[in-house]
Structure 1
């Protein structure tokens, strides 16, 4: 009996040594008081990770769906032919835009042409105003030139030479004639320098733009419509006729 009681603890110890799992399971409740808190935190962490992953997957899925929809639309637009109504609408829009473009181009070209014409017209008007600003003064001045010409015409060159031979008393008269000639020459050259030029059409073809026929007479020895006599000389101001020459014209018809 005593031997059995003495051997009982040894057997219990051997059993405890041989089965540590049983011992650990028996003593486990003493050391598992904090496990519920750890499992709750782990569960919350896993749920947050799962939620973020689900959100990421959902956003990526939405983006991929939108891209797929756009690609499908582009594919449909590129691959499938337009309907007759859509083609007619597009054609009508293109024709309208082309017509508007042509209208704007025409307006632009007309504006450029008008501006260039305005520039040229302004240049001509400025040049004309500068060249013919003394028209009134020139018309008044030509009368003085005509008077000098008439004074010299009253003393022909033959009579002046005869007077020089006959008497020395006529020397003053000859000096007067020479002075008138010099005055006329200087005056005519000065007017020519400023654009006012005198012309004598004697022997030229009659030109109604520059000549004024005061009389006409037949002359068989001269060509028809030729100026044979200059009654009054004409004047040009910078190429424009200021006063037409008064002439006699041959009329053999």
Structure 2
């Protein structure tokens, strides 16, 4: 009996499952209500806030201690120490800048002095390169001057007589030669000077003798034995002169 009952129940279950598989359940045509409508139906909640400040004092998260106070004082003094150190470095750099500027100015001044000195030396070497040659050359010019002096004296002695044509031609020829030579020497900076009647100058004159001369001013050149020469303004040879001496 019991087995028959179990078999009957199992058959009923299998038949019902077949029926469900053949006929699926029909969905309801009624759609669920939207969520927004449900939200609108519900009344919003209201929150209330108090305007009074909280009278309960807040406790400091960290109580002050001697160590923290010392740290705070150290932190407060730190900027001043940094500022003092920066000022010290700045003063050091300013001193170095002044020192370097002074060295630079001195170097520039030394270099300019060297340039000027070099230019003067080069100019002097160029101007006085013919100094030795000029000294030897003026001796020949002196001989021409002596020849002219002697010819002039001879011509003066023969003024009362018949003129000597040959002597006159000789004088004119030597005079032209001397003039031409002096012009050539002057182009190269060599000039002759005659100090007769001037005040005695020891830098340009060489006194060979001194004698009193009536009617002449004291310390004046009254006689020239040998004329002097200058090369580019520098005395190449001093003039040999006689000077008036006071009585």
Q: Give the TM-score category using the shorter length.
A: 0.5 to 0.7
Equivalent residue in structure 1 for 2:199, among 186, 205, 216: 205
Equivalent residue in structure 2 for 1:166, among 155, 158, 161: 161
Q: TM-score, normalised by structure 2?
A: 0.64
Other structure's SS at 2:151 match: coil
Alignment match, 1:103: 99
Cα distance in structure 2, aligned partners of 1:212 and 1:130: 27
Contact 1:212 1:247 in 2 (8 A): yes
1:165 is displaced (CA, Å) by 4.8
Return the index of the structure with the highest Cα Rg: 2
1:17 is displaced (CA, Å) by 7.6
Contact 2:151 2:167 in 1 (8 A): no
Alignment match, 2:117: 121
Equivalent residue in structure 2 for 1:182, among 176, 199, 215: 176
Cα distance in structure 2, aligned partners of 1:133 and 1:113: 30
Q: In the superposition, relative to structure 1, how do residues 82 and 173 fare at CA in structure 2: closer, same or farther (>3 Å)?
A: same
Q: Is 1:94 equivalent to 2:90 in the alignment?
A: yes
Q: Any residues of structure 2 matched to 1:125-164 within 5 Å, and which?
A: 125-157=121-153, 159-163=154-158
Cα distance in structure 2, aligned partners of 1:182 and 1:17: 155
Alignment match, 2:12: none
Contact 2:204 2:235 in 1 (8 A): yes
Cα distance in structure 2, aligned partners of 1:252 and 1:88: 83
Alignment match, 1:237: 231
Q: TM-score, normalised by structure 1?
A: 0.63
1:220 is displaced (CA, Å) by 4.5
* Structure 2 residues without counterparts, runs of 5 or longer: 1-25, 31-75
Contact 1:164 1:174 in 2 (8 A): no
Number of residue pairs matched by the alignment:
182
Cα distance in structure 2, aligned partners of 1:87 and 1:17: 87
Cα distance in structure 2, aligned partners of 1:185 and 1:194: 15
Q: In the superposition, relative to structure 1, how do residues 87 and 161 fare at CA in structure 2: closer, same or farther (>3 Å)?
A: same
Contact 1:220 1:252 in 2 (8 A): no
Cα distance in structure 2, aligned partners of 1:228 and 1:184: 24
Other structure's SS at 2:158 match: helix
Alignment match, 2:240: 246
Q: Is 1:82 equivalent to 2:79 in the alignment?
A: yes
1:251 is displaced (CA, Å) by 2.5
Other structure's SS at 1:247 match: strand
Contact 1:200 1:245 in 2 (8 A): yes
Cα distance in structure 2, aligned partners of 1:126 and 1:166: 59
